[in-house]
Structure formats: C-alpha cells, structure tokens
Chain A
Amino acid sequence: MRILRNLSFWIAVGVVVLIIAYGATGGAIRRETWFTVLLFVGLASSLNILLGYTGYVSFGHIVFFGFGGYIGFWAIDTLGMNLWLAALLGGLVSALLALGLGLAILRLRGAYFALATIGILEAMKALVINIPALGGPNGMELNFSVYRGYGGAATALWMVYWSVAAIALIVVITSYIVKKSKFGLGLMAIREDEDAAEIMGVVAPRAKTWAYVISAFFPGILGVLFFFKQGIIEPGSAFRLQLSIEMLVMVMLGGSGTVLGPILGAGAYQILRGTLLTSDLELLGMKVKDIQLAVAGVLLLIIVLFIPVGAIGWLRTRSATLRRILE
C-alpha cells in the first residue's frame, strides 16, 4: 500500500489513536468526554467526505445517524438482534437511504441541496413520530437485561467506547484513502466546478452518490452504538437539526476538505463547550455558562468571517512542509 509510506497518513491516524488512548486511561468521567469527541470525529469525518471533498452542503446529515440508530435499536429491542449485527444493519439501511435519496436530491445544487437535506431530516422525524412500531413520539427504551448479554452495564459502556473508537479510526482511514484515490480526485473536481469536471469525463452523478452513501454509512453505525449506550431513543434526540449543524461547525473549525480538520474540529468544539459549560467567568453581567451558546456563536462567526479555511486549512497555506505532512 502506497499510503502507508505517507507521513501525513500516520499523523492523522496517530492523532486519533492518541485521543482513544487518552480517553481510555482516566476512569469513567474522562471516558465519557472523549467518547463524545470520538463519536463526533466519526460523524464530522463522514460528513467531510460529502461536504469537504465533494462540496455539497448537507445540513440534515444527522438524519443518517438517527435513522440507522432507530433501525438498529428496533432490531435489538424487538428482534433481540446482536449489537454488532444491529450496528451493521444500521449502517447499511442508512447507506441505502442515502443511495435512494442521493439519486434524487444530488441533482440540486448550492442552497437548494442544503434546503432539501433539512426537509428530509424534518420529514423523517415527523414520519417516525407516526410509526407506532418505532414507539411514536415517545420512542423506545431498552430493557436493562439486554446489557447482561454484554457482561453488565459497566462492561457494556467500555465495549461501546472501544467500538466507537474503532469506527472513528476506520472513518478517518477511509477518509484518507478516499482523498488520495482517483475517486477522491473526481470528487474534488466536482467540488471545484461540476460542469467542467463532467466535460473532463468525471461521471458526477455516480461519484456524488457514492460519496453520499459512504458519508451516510458510518453515521448509521455510530447511531446504533450511541443509542444502545443511551438505552433510549426518541425522535427529538435522534433527528436534531442542532446536532447536524454542530457537525458542520466542527468540519469548518478544523478545515473542510482536510483529513485532520474534522478530527481537530470535533475535539476543539467539545473541549470548548465543556470549558464554557463549567466556567465561572462572567461577561456583561451574565454567567458565561448560561450564555455558552452565544459565546460559541461569536467564535463561529469569527472563524467563518476571518479563517474560512479552518485551522488545518490555514496551517497548510503556511509552508510546503506543513502542506505535505498535514493532510
């Protein structure tokens, strides 16, 4: 494999491994924090394949996390399916959903595509509320005895940590391979100028759809793992537009279209939020932790206005060496 000789590959993998190791070596509280980071590393890196490489702004990407999560959860709850099988099932149904949707909505460009993805997220949420088999508006709850099959709740939590960590690592490796592949070159050509890319022979409809499918597959798996850990799933938490936009923010923060960007973006965003939420500082007479959303908004605004390429994107413009080792 040619990519194994690239320093930039090992840097990306190394960062994820460091996050995994740090999260695993400090007890349950630290694990929970870094579990969330790893979850978002997986989600943001998946989104990046569509958003960063292909240039399609999916505002409702969390729909694949929620949909996969729902189907997997349902399979565990009512069919008694094994978690691993259910996770794979969640990934596959999300990928399938993306395949069907992609053929239709990837014809739309720019703002129209972004709006359509919001519509799909909201339609899916409203639909699930109307399906009694999926628990309707109240969702579903796992019977506690399910965790016994995985060595009890405490062991199950560690198990989910390691599996989310593994998926995050796989997503990052996939993301790297895609970026360095002929497929990825086609995607980036589409991002820069779709019509020109097609004139050069890039089969854009096919390439975009595959990018969409890959970027939906992993969130589907992560959804099953996440909601299995929660033990409860309901429409509001599975299809949250807010979360979808946070994924976008993480990608932007680190650098859209780079492999490292979404990893650092996810980490920085979660750390920032944790810091703000526990901060005792006051600003204009208001406690920072009460207005953490507003503070995060100001920071996002500053980044969008002044460093639109994100942290890694910016570093890559600084020197040829950085460009080579930070992918």
Chain B
Amino acid sequence: MIDQLLASVTDGMLVGVVYGLAAMGLTLIFGVMNVINLAHGPIMALGMFTVYLAYTSLGLNPFLGLLLAAGLGLILGVIIYWGAVHRVIDAPHLSSLLSTFSVNMIIIGIGTAIFSTSFRNVDYSLGIVTIGPITVPGTRFTSALLALGITGLLYLFLYRTRPGKYVRAVSDNRTSAGLMGIASNRVLALSFGLGTMLAALAGGLIAMALPFTILSGGSYELKSFVIVVLGGLGNPIGALLGGVILGLIEGLVPVFTKITWVPVIEFVLFVLILLVRPQGLFGAKQ
C-alpha cells in the first residue's frame, strides 16, 4: 500500500508539472490581456504532432522536436493575436471567447482532415529511472525536469530581460505602459505567443508519455482551466502548483476509489474554488 501510494504520488507530481506548464500558458495570456484562449487545447495538440512528425518523418530526437514545437507555438500565437484577438481585446468577454474558439474550430477542422482522429504515439524511451523504492519511465522524469526548467526560463525572461519587463508592465496597466512609450500591441502579441508556446511545449512533452489524437488537446484544455483556477487566474507560479495538485488528485484518487470519480472531484473543486476563492488557492486576498 505504501509503495503504491508513493508511486502514485511520484507519478502524479511528474505529470502535474507538465499540466502546470500548459496551464501557465493559459494563465499568462489571461493575466496580461484578460482573454481566455479557447484555442489552447488545439495548440497543445499541434505541439504533440510537431514532436511526433519530427520524430517519425525526420528522425529528430523528440527533445529536439520540442524546440520546433516551441518555435511553431510562438509564431502561431503571434499570428492568432493579430488575426483574431487584437480587434476584440477591449470588447466584451464573449467576443474574445468566440474569436479564439473560432481559431480552435479552424485548427481542429484542418487537423482532423489531415491527421484523422486515430491515435498516435511517440515510441521513444530513455529507460527507467530508479530513485529509492520508486521507478519511473525516464522520459516522464526528464519531461518533468524540462517543464521545471522552462518555468525557470520564463521567470528569468519576465524578470530579467527588457521585453519580459514590458510584458509585466503591460499586464499591470496597459494604458500607463502605453503612455510610457511601450508599444503595447507588440508586447501583447508577444505575450500571446509566449502563452501558446508554453501550450505547444507542454503538448510536446505529453506526446512523449501518452498516446494522443488531434482532439486530445480538448481534455488537456479543460485540465488547464481547472489548474488555472486552482492557482489563481493570471498567476503563473500558482499554475505550476495547481498543476501538481491536479496531478496528485489524478494519481491518488484511483488508489481509493474508481478512476471515473477523478473528473467529478476535479470539476466540483474547480467550481467551488471559483465561488469561494476566486483569486485561487495561492493568490493574495483581494
């Protein structure tokens, strides 16, 4: 029993960190421009397919494939910002929800036509990592480390570089940032691109661990919503912690009851937190 618990906790945390990375993308965009990106899931799916195709067609190591996924995610995000978000950024919420959802439809529509909805997996192994009594697949372990590393880089970017500081300034107050000469539109486009880049990266990492289809992004998108609310909308570190919590729920709940109760618990928790602590578990009280 103890061994099983330990294994579930480890597994949950490793997966949770990757979930957290995806959610960070969603929460970054929300924090900067108050937009919930409903194309988040499909972009994760594109990240999965990038890694998959680079590996199967080009023979590229999946971890190098991640770089491709990151680049694609960034470019795509900037394009989506200018094409679908920029015009409605100050419009009522429904507009940006629907405009990003239309991007979702476009990606899924074309993606389904090209890739069909059959399952793929990246057949790549790094052996087994053993830490004390626990053994985990090497790819999963490396993925979690990478996710942490990317989070660290994101923070370095946001706090140590000029464009990163612009992002935080615009997030803090778009009007005054604009008055101080920051080209807020370009910063917004960059932020959106960073958010989708994180989504694509997380998708790529998930693809190494689990089978997927072009539609898989949808369920991860829902997980990201839950995580983002757990951690507080707009709070990247909160998202990482929220991801770990979600991973732990997914790891531990099946030890005690049927696995089908996991989503019930997740979504009930999600609604309860929205009601009781809308600033998230880790946010300061408003």
Report if A85 contacts B (CB, 8 A).
no
What total of chain B residues lie within 8 Å of the partner, measured CB to CB? 47
Contacts of A105 in B (CB 8 A): 271, 274-275
Evaluate contact between B263 and A122: CB separation under 8 angstroms: yes
Instruction: Indicate if the CB atoms of A130 and B104 lie closer than 8 Å.
Output: no
Across the interface, do A304 and B98 meet the contact criterion of CB distance under 8 Å? yes
Query: Is B34 engaged at the interface, CB distance under 8 Å to the other chain?
Result: yes
Is B106's CB within 8 Å of the partner chain A? Answer: yes
B97 touches A114 (CB 8 A): yes
Are B88 and A304 touching (Cβ within 8 A)? yes
- Whether A116 pairs with B99 at a CB distance below 8 angstroms is no
Q: How far is the CA of A110 from the CA of B61 in the complex (A)?
A: 43
In the complex formed, the residue of A with least CB distance to B96 is A304
Q: Shortest distance in angstroms between B154's beta carbon and chain A's nearest beta carbon?
A: 22
Residue A252 CB within 8 A of the other chain = yes
Is B173 close to A, CB under 8 A? no
The interface of chain B, by Cβ under 8 A from chain A, is 30, 34, 36, 83-84, 87-88, 91-95, 97-99, 101-110, 112-113, 218, 222, 225-226, 229, 233, 258, 260-264, 266-268, 270-271, 274-275, 278
Complexed CA–CA distance, A287 and B93 (Å): 34
Q: Which A residues are CB-close (under 8 A) to B88?
A: 304-305, 308
Chain A: minimal CB distance from B41 (Å): 11
Separation in Å of the A217 CB from the closest CB of chain B? 22
Band of interface residues on A: 35 or more
Question: How far apart sit A114 and B267, CA to CA, in the bound complex (Å)?
Answer: 14
Asked whether, in the complex, the Cβ of B274 is within 8 Å of the Cβ of A108, the reply is: yes
Given A293-B105, A293-B112, verify A119-B91 contact (CB < 8 Å): no
CB pair B93 A114 closer than 8 Å: yes
- In the complex, the answer to whether B222 meets A122 with C-beta atoms within 8 Å is yes
Q: For the complex, give the distance between the alpha carbons of A107 and B276 in Å.
A: 11
CB neighbors of B among A275-305 (8 A): 286-287, 290-298, 300-301, 304-305
Q: Whose C-beta in chain B lies nearest to the C-beta of A55?
A: B92
With both beta carbons as reference points, the residue of chain A lying nearest to B267 in the complex is identified as A123
